[in-house]
Each structure stands twice: as structure tokens, then as C-alpha cells.
Amino acid sequence: MTRDPHAERRSRLTRLIVLSIAAAVLTIALKTTAWALTGSVGLLSDAAESVVNLVAALVAFLVVQYSTKPPDEEHAYGHEKADYLSAGVEGGLVLLAAATIGYTAIDRLLHPQELESVGVGVAVSVAASLINLAVALVLIRAGREHQSIVLEADGRHLMTDVWTTAGVVAAIVAVALTGWEPLDPLIALAVAANIVVTGIRLVRRSTDGLLDRALAPSELATVHAALRRFECDDVRFHALRTRRAGSRAFVSTHLLVPGDWSVQRGHDLAEHVEQALRDALGNVTVFTHLEPLEDPASFADTGLDRAD
């Protein structure tokens, strides 16, 4: 039976996203209970963010089904770029959650309210946070392992939820100890500001991917190191271009060799270069263009648009 790497990847990622969906449903129930027990605006905001987590996880589930499809005639370079749409939505939802928390906190700051059943509410909220922490760590680690921005974005989103809960719990405990009710909404505002930073990072990463940003500096260093192994008086490289689409990297470069080389010799070298880059980067598609080293025309196409 033929092994289908796309189906295997879809299966692995889907299982992890389903884990995130289950965690979101469970934490919504727990945090809503905690809010009902205490009346804390911080816990209400925390529960609202878990609803956002659920929506984001559902979006990620749909995106994974599409982004892991194999290339076809209409999408010859694959569907991996869909991952960036999910990360963008995730970042936008994080910012929306921060705005909701901020709005609710300001309203409570203007209209203070005494908290109730603090001990039980805090215990329930901490239990929900521990669930999110465990799932977030699993998703972030798996996202890096599988080069999946969808999993990593979802994991980082859950991690903001953990920080939110930590801030909210600290506020509730502080209010219970001091009796100063404005602490609850003030700490909720501080948490909202921290969440904004995560949301902006996710949106920026999504935008970079959609705009074909070059590979990360560490990956570029790996590319240059691989190419230097072949460079000599008879072999040069230029017009190096790189980008990433989800888990797949793309590298293209022009390979300059003496014009009197046979086609076979040039082709063999190009094959070795491409294999070296695949060995160095893993999931990468490599394009090489062979050119005669002595021909001035070979240096007229180093830019994206050929020079006149």
C-alpha cells in the first residue's frame, strides 16, 4: 500500500487540533462556573477568551484539512499557505479577546462589585488553567516539530489564556486580602495589554508568510553553508531567493559553471546541490538554474526582473 505523507500529516495535526477543541470546551465550562460563583469581571473576561479559543481551534481544524491536501493542477505548489490564514485569524481573535477584556474591565472599574465564593472560584479557574497549560505546551512543541504555524499559533493562543488566568487569579486573591475592589479590573487591563502583544506577533507572522518573507536567519545560514561546499573557481551561485509556505521551504538559485561543461556534468552538479539543500533543510523544494559563468548575460537576471 502506497504511503501518503499528506494524509499522515493531516491525521497527526487533526488529532492535536481536536485536543485543543476538547480543552476549550472543558475550560469554558470551568471558567463560566468560576465566574458564576465569584462575580469577578476578570473571570468573566477569562471565560470569554476561552470562547475565542474554541472558535480559533475550529478555524484551525478546517484549515488543517485544506493545507495538508497534496498539490494539484490548480495548486502546483501545494496548499500549505492556508496555514497563515489560520494564524492571522488566531491573532485577530486574540486582539478581539484583549479588547473585550479591556472593555469589561473599564466598566467594572467604574462600577465596582463585591466578589463572592472566592476560594472555590479560584480553585476551579486554576484547574482550567492547568488544562490549558498542558495542551499549550503540547501544541507549541508539536508545531515546531512539524513546522506547523497552525499548531504553534493555537498553542501560543492557549498560553495567553494561561497568563490571563494567572493575572485574574492574582487579582481576585489580592481583592480578597485587601478588600480593594478596583484591583480586579486593573489587573484585567494589564493582562489585556499583555495579550495584545501576542496577537500582534501572530498577525505579523501570518502577514510575513503571505508576503513570501525570506527564510529565518538561521535557515539562511544553513543554505549558505550548504552552497559554500560547492563553490570554487568554476562554480558560483547568485540570485538566491527563499520563502516558506507553512511547513515547506522554497529555495531557488542560479548555478554558474564554465560554458564548455557538458549538459550532463552541469546537471549532475545541480542534482548534488539540490540534494545537499534537502538534507540541510528537510522539507524543502529546490529550483536551480544553470548558466555559463563567462557569459555577461548570466549576470543580467540576478534581480526579480531581468535587467535590460
Give CA separation, 193 vs 23, 122, 165, 242, in Å: 24, 22, 14, 35
| Residue (of 36, 47, 177, 161) closest to 104 by Cα position | 47
In CATH, the architecture of 5-210 is: Up-down Bundle (1.20)
CATH number, domain 217-299, options 3.40.190.10, 3.40.50.150, 3.30.70.1350, 1.25.40.10: 3.30.70.1350
Classified as helix, coil or strand, 62 is: helix
pLDDT of residue 182: 78
Query: What is the Cα gyration radius of the chain?
Result: 25
What is the torsional sign of CA 89, 96, 56, 62? negative
Give 75-80's long-range contacts (Cβ < 8 A, gap of 24+): 77/245, 77/250, 77/285, 78/245, 78/246, 78/248, 80/245, 80/246, 80/247, 80/248
Residues carrying CATH 1.20.1510.10, the chain? 5-210
Distance CA 25, CA 253 (A): 48
Distance CA 151, CA 155 (A): 6
Helices marked H in the chain: 5-38, 41-67, 82-110, 118-145, 149-178, 183-210, 217-228, 263-281
pLDDT of residue 271: 96
C-alpha cell at 142: 508539536
181: pLDDT strictly greater than 80 = no
pLDDT of residue 260: 93
- The confidence band for 67, taking pLDDT boundaries of 50, 70 and 90, is confident
194: pLDDT strictly greater than 90 = no
Give the Cβ contact number of residue 298 at 10 Å. 19
Distance CA 121, CA 116 (A): 8
Q: What is the mean pLDDT of residues 183-204?
A: 78
202: pLDDT strictly greater than 80 = no
Classified as helix, coil or strand, 253 is: strand
147: pLDDT strictly greater than 80 = no
42: pLDDT strictly greater than 70 = no
Q: Are strands 284-292 and 248-257 parallel, antiparallel or unpaired?
A: parallel
Tens digits of per-residue pLDDT, 86-137? Answer: 778 878 877 887 787 788 778 777 877 666 666 777 788 888 889 989 999 9
Residues carrying CATH 3.30.70.1350, the chain? 217-299
Tens digits of per-residue pLDDT, 229-273? Answer: 999 999 999 999 999 887 789 999 999 999 999 999 999 999 999
231 in Cβ contact with 225 (< 8 Å): no
| Amino acid at position 196, single letter | V
Of 221 and 153, the structure prediction assigns the larger pLDDT to 221
Question: Mean of the per-residue pLDDT values for the chain?
Answer: 83
pLDDT of residue 197: 81
Q: What is the mean pLDDT of residues 194-203?
A: 80
